[in-house]
Structure 1
Amino acid sequence: MRSADALAEALEAGDREAALGFVKRLRREVLSMIRNYAGWEETLLAWVEREREGHDRSEVLAAIEDFDAAPERGGDPSDPAPRWKEEASAIFAALESGDDAATIERARALHDNALLHHDRGMSRVSAILSWIGREAGIEGIQAALGEAMSGDMIGHASFRERAEALTHFTRVHLQPVPLKEDDEKLTFACAICPSGGRMIAAGHYASPRDDLVVKGPHPLTYGRDEIPVYCCHEPIMEIDSIEKTGVPLFVVEPAERLGFETCKTYLYKRPEDIPAKYYERLGLRKPETLNKDESR
């Protein structure tokens, strides 16, 4: 459930403590989202300037900022974080004053505004990656994404720590996140992926945007014949985590029909239970020994 909707449900049930928690969660999600996309775009543009002689960010931006073809890439380019922090404070104040209607209205307005910025950032990143792919090939995509997605990987952390991190990572896309747990793993199964899947369904890989579809088979396509360029960040994150910790941070099982069927993300409780095929599709081998996770 979206945080703004969970807030409304908590208030309707009279659980003000839970409502306060959902306001905090919404604030954390929108601020994380805008930092992620701003940082991603900057890292990719910096990579172009450093690695592609004769090219600079102005050339890339001129190529992707066709606002007739992709109006969502325009809009206010200023950092919304300061005003979102102010709005979150106003939501807290409305909640504390007992004005539930204003609390819900303002929370949903914050969510909707953040979603516009989310879709702006997502579209711009996909367009920049498309430019890189056409200029530098799949090797360029892998190198640029390797920098953009690199970070502290927690594949070796406890199941609880990994579950909390992945849940937050998924929620920053501001869509409902259905979860199912069994003895082996936690499964995230959004009807349509809240980032790449929504882009496919919205026609980003067809005219007039014509974002790049990466041809495989290749580790960046999970060994498939093709995959939309934006979706390549998932295998990059898995590869980075495996190389650093021996364990993928998560495992994505892409849908047969991307953007129209459910992609599933698995978080295994015990790293040793991760099937070897999820390593092999990335061109890697599963380590013979893995530290067992005893945390539950």
Structure 2
Amino acid sequence: EASIKEKDDEKTKSLLDEREKQHLLIHDIYIEMMVSCFSYMGKVYGDKGLEGVLRHSGEMQKQGFIAWENMPVEDFVRATAHLMKTHMGKMKILEDDEKFTFIHDPCGSGGRLMREGAYDAPKNYHKIEKATAVGFSKENFPCYCSHCAVWNNIQAIEWFGHPQWVHEAPNSPDDPCKFHIYKDPKKIPEKYFKQVGKEKKA
């Protein structure tokens, strides 16, 4: 605050950079804890067990998803941008007539894990081998990213009738992760429901 009042731009930038470094350290520890837990659940209890724990944790956060649902779309986009920024990835947002598109290259959590080889030796975190709704109908889907399928898509459809973040999950670690926020959820194409095992209701 003092550096801002003093209009010391260099000091302010330095302090912000230091804050980001401290946040990244805590963030990365938290993400490793999450992926190791998800991986354990998938390996020991199977993909149904993994889905179960994700559904339970989604229910524990339901009030937050309800708050998102009740926001004007512009506020929802701002809230999403703030949340995604805390993952410390490279992100850009595009807008067209029907939607906002978030492009993460990579996402600072799931995408970074893939690019760092977290699903290969020595960590060998769990992948969902078969194409299922929990993995956006993709084979060998990384377990960490399955929470996006369950919370933001499967459960959102069950609660609100539509996904809140409409994902285009990457096919490889080199691909960016993209998701859309539609200005009118009724215009979300049916294929995005089908990829998580749901049908779009008229």
Aligned counterpart, 1:99: 8
Q: CA deviation at 1:156?
A: 5.6
Q: Which of 47, 57, 63 does residue 148 from structure 1 map onto? A: 57
Candidates 114, 131, 151, aligned match of 1:200: 114
SS at 2:91's partner residue?
coil
Cα gap change, 1:143 to 1:117, in 2 (>3 Å): same
- Aligned counterpart, 1:37: none
Shift of 1:275: 0.5
Length, aligned pairs only: 196
Question: Structure 1's 287 and 209: CA in aligned 2 closer, same or farther, altered over 3 A?
Answer: same
Alignment of 1:182-193 (within 5 A): 182-193=96-107
Q: Distance in 2 between matches of 1:198 and 1:219?
A: 22
Counterpart residue identity of residue 222, structure 1: F
- Identify which of 37, 44, 47 aligns with 1:128: 37
Structure 2: runs of 5 or more not aligned: none
Name 1:214's counterpart in structure 2. Answer: 128
CA deviations over 1:6-58 (Å, ceiling 9, x no partner): xxxxxxxxxxxxxxxxxxxxxxxxxxxxxxxxxxxxxxxxxxxxxxxxxxxxx
Partner of 2:138: 224
Give per-residue Cα distances to partners, 1:72-103, cap 9 Å, x unaligned. Answer: xxxxxxxxxxxxxxxxxxxx222113322221
* Aligned partner letter, 1:168: H
- Runs of at least 4 residues off by over 6 Å: none
| Residue equivalent to 2:165 | 250
- Which residue of structure 2 aligns with residue 79 of structure 1? none
Deviation at 1:180, TM superposition (A): 0.7
Computed over aligned residues only, the root mean square deviation of the Cα atoms, in angstroms, reads 1.4
Whole-angstrom CA distance in 2 between matches of 1:97 and 1:266: 41
The within-5 A match list for 1:51-200 is 92-150=1-59, 151-152=62-63, 153=65, 154-155=68-69, 157-200=71-114
Give the share of equivalent positions with the same residue, in percent: 27
Structure 1 unaligned spans of 5+:
1-91, 289-296
Hey, what's the Cα distance between the residues in 1 that align with 2:139 and 2:120? Answer: 18
SS in 2 for 1:284: coil
Equivalent positions of 1:21-60 (< 5 A) are none
Shift of 1:226: 2.0
Distance 2:80 2:11 in 1: 31
CA distance 1:267–1:254, shift in 2 (3 Å): same
Structure 1 stretch 120-129 or stretch 154-163: which is displaced more? 154-163
Amino acid at match of 1:261: D
Contact 1:155 1:246 in 2 (8 A): no
Equivalent position SS for 2:3 = helix
Larger radius of gyration: 1
CA distance in 1, matches of 2:190, 2:71: 20
Deviation for aligned residue 1:234: 0.5
Contact 1:155 1:248 in 2 (8 A): no
Q: Residue 110 of structure 1 aligns to which amino acid in structure 2?
A: R
Q: Secondary structure at the match of 1:286?
A: coil
Output the amino acid matched with 1:214: I
Residues in 1 aligned to 2:139 and 2:123: alpha-carbon distance in whole angstroms? 21
**In the alignment, residue 115 of structure 2 is paired with which amino acid?**
A
Please state whether the residue corresponding to 1:165 is helix, strand or coil: helix
Quick one: which of 277, 287, 290 aligns to 2:191? 277
Q: 1:212 to 1:124 in 2, by over 3 A?
A: same
Match of 2:147 among 224, 230, 233: 233
CA distance in 1, matches of 2:185, 2:69: 8
Distance in 1 separating the partners of 2:3 and 2:58: 37
Task: Give the letter for the 1:107 counterpart.
Answer: L
